[in-house]
Amino acid sequence: MTDYRQHPSIVAHWRDVSLHPLPEAQEARETIWFAMPPEPDTEQMWEGLRARLETDGTATVLGVPAYLYDVNFGDRVSVMRSAENALVATGVECDALNFTFRVQLTADDPNAWRPLAEELAKKGCLLDLISPRFFAISCGEPQAQEVADRLSALERTDILHYETGRTQRLG
């Protein structure tokens, strides 16, 4: 059996006084499928991210990964068509130097995500809301440590659990 996880939302950014869909993500018409590394005794999982096909045959990732490691918003990936005609990523061609964080909130309140999401979006982060308690964050290298420190402080107070999606160092 196979588990396909496609994001229900479009990446959002802060504009004026609220969150709005990022135009380039909203305009993206393709879904790129990424195979998750298999784990023993589990079904194969795939994450589908919005993307834009480029003229050179690569695709630009326009979603924030909720499950993948070392794939980030803005990365250029090589792709191929599967037998089912789906676009499947085969590797990262160009690292956009963004950082991904994933947040699982501990509160059951369906609006608990909003204050933190707005705080981070005001700092220039992009957000991909997977559910009211689970969202992915993308930020550039200059904000990454500040975001990590903020999430770590909130984790220590049991407001959330978080992880980073980048396991490899830059450069």
Boundary of a domain, candidates 94, 121, 139: 94
114 conformational bin, left if phi > 0, alpha if psi -120 to 50, beta if neither: alpha
Same domain, 25 and 90: yes
The Cα–Cα gap between 41 and 30 comes to: 31
Domain contains 65? yes
pTM: 0.91
Instruction: Find the helix packing angle between 141-156 and 113-122, rounded to 10°.
Output: 150
**Domain around 28:** 2-9+21-94
pLDDT in tens, the chain (171 residues): 577 788 778 999 988 888 899 999 999 999 999 998 877 888 888 999 999 999 999 999 999 999 999 999 999 999 999 999 999 999 999 999 999 999 999 999 999 999 999 999 999 999 999 998 999 999 999 999 999 999 999 999 999 999 999 987 765
Q: Decide: helix, strand or coil at residue 119.
A: helix
Residue in 80, 126, 134, 129 with CA at minimum distance from that of residue 100: 126
44 and 62, same domain (yes or no): yes
Whether residues 103 and 90 share a domain: the answer is no
Q: How many domains does the chain have?
A: 2
